[in-house]
Amino acid sequence: MITCTNCETPQFLQITQSRVYFEDGEVINELSESYECTLCGSTGQYVYDEDRDEEAVSGDVELTTERPKFA
Ligand SMILES: [Zn+2]
């Protein structure tokens, strides 16, 4: 889950831009989303790399392990 580092809640985050990268026209390799917090105005970016199964965030958002990927 992605949360605002200032507000410490995902409640006010909005996706302002979303991009998906394809390979061979069908397989999703990478997902890129830009977020903006409508409460405090912070912005950040979330990227998911399908090939490496890696998530990364930058800016004023953070990934929380509220729901662990590996139980
Ligand atoms: Zn915020």
| pLDDT at residue 68 in the model | 56
The reply to whether 40 falls in a domain is yes
Q: What does the alpha-carbon distance between residue 36 and residue 61 come to, in Å, rounded to a whole number?
A: 9
Going from the Cα of 65 to the center of ligand 1, the distance in angstroms, rounded, reads 18
The reply to whether 13 falls in a domain is yes
The reply to whether 41 falls in a domain is yes
**Token pair recorded at residue 31:** 């997902």
Going from the Cα of 1 to the center of ligand 1, the distance in angstroms, rounded, reads 14
| pLDDT at residue 29 in the model | 85
Give the model's confidence band at 22: pLDDT under 50 very low, under 70 low, under 90 confident, else very high: confident
pLDDT digits (tens, 9 = 90+) for 49-67: 988 999 999 999 999 876 6
Q: What does the alpha-carbon distance between residue 46 and residue 14 come to, in Å, rounded to a whole number?
A: 12
Going from the Cα of 32 to the center of ligand 1, the distance in angstroms, rounded, reads 20
Give the model's confidence band at 23: pLDDT under 50 very low, under 70 low, under 90 confident, else very high: confident
Q: What does the alpha-carbon distance between residue 20 and residue 2 come to, in Å, rounded to a whole number?
A: 18
The reply to whether 30 falls in a domain is yes
For residue 40, the enclosing domain spans: 2-63
Q: What does the alpha-carbon distance between residue 12 and residue 66 come to, in Å, rounded to a whole number?
A: 17
The reply to whether 47 falls in a domain is yes
Q: How many domains does the chain fold into? A: 1
The reply to whether 68 falls in a domain is no
